[in-house]
Structure 1
């Protein structure tokens, strides 16, 4: 994720959410702090989002980040991606 701006990261997160979160609300209408579960994302869709994010950003979420709160909104997803990318060795 190094070299990726916050705007680029948010755009890619939103793309993954559009393709995998299965929420009825258009993702682009949600703020970065909007609760994705309240917007309609299920736990099954969350797993799909997590796997797609790992592929899109070439990272692996550490075990301690594999919890509901990590994927509750775009802001927390972006923070988790930042943390996960710091742990990746290239």
Structure 2
């Protein structure tokens, strides 16, 4: 999962440093993430992981760090798995 996220950050976020240089909890906005690039990243993540972020996750905080992105993806996957099981 981390490798895919980092690849998408490199492809879509246009940061000043490659994702391999970022700490998992490093601030992506401080690294140069713009609001437009954040939207592009969220869309790419949805496609890559075959998920749909709920409206409550469509905010700056959700893509503030790699760790936060991982957390959001896992939460969406868990919610979708619960819905399928019901």
TM over 0.5: yes
RMSD: 0.9
- 1:64 partner SS: helix
Bigger fraction of residues in helix: 2
Q: CA deviation at 1:26?
A: 1.3
Count of residue pairs the alignment pairs up: 82
Q: Which runs of 5+ in 1 are unaligned?
A: 1-8
Q: Note if 1:39 corresponds to 2:39.
A: no
Candidates 18, 21, 28, aligned match of 1:26: 18
Structure 1 consecutive aligned stretches of length 4 or more whose deviation exceeds 4 Å: none
Distance in 2 of aligned mates of 1:83 and 1:33: 17
Task: Pick the structure with greater CA Rg.
Answer: 2
Q: Residue 60 of structure 1 corresponds to which residue in structure 2?
A: 52
